[in-house]
Amino acid sequence: MSLSSLCLECGLCCDGTLFRHVGVTPAEREQLVPLGIGVGTKRRHDVMWLPCGKLDGKCCTIYEARPGGCRRFVCHLGKRLEAKELPYDEALGHVREIQARVAELAALIHPPPGEPVLRHARACIDSTTTKVTQEQLDAFARVEALRYGVFMPPPA
């Protein structure tokens, strides 16, 4: 199986789980606005906000017109699959595991519809008015451990 097959099972880079935004060029920004995709500025750079409004399940509905940042990105797990460092079934297992952990966290924190689970969890954890349980903190830590350990390890 291929990287594209894995991506179609995953979608974490587009649904707001891995990132809050992706950089876009001014020209890409102009193309995204008429499509109704949320764009803005972050530290004086144009960005497309995530989750992407053109994600349908785990499938990009503007795949041929997606921004360059989306075209170039391959997560660490995908790179390992491409380099044949692990078989497809093992890579898919990691995808299923993080999806299960995110679902578990969602069941504990109840994010509003459309809000990424990790974004909502971080907001709850950082809030001075929301009481966060140890169970919620542990579930968040389990997601983050897999997120950083498998999908986007921090630079060495």
Please give the pLDDT value at position 65.
87
Task: Encode pLDDT of 7-43 as tens digits.
Answer: 999 999 999 999 999 999 999 999 999 999 999 999 9
Task: Encode pLDDT of 56-102 as tens digits.
Answer: 999 999 998 899 999 999 999 999 999 999 999 999 999 999 999 99
Does residue 153 surpass a pLDDT of 90? no
Please give the pLDDT value at position 155.
65
Mapped onto helix, strand or coil, the DSSP state of residue 146 is: helix
Cα distances (angstroms) measured from residue 62 to each of 20, 35, 113: 19, 9, 22
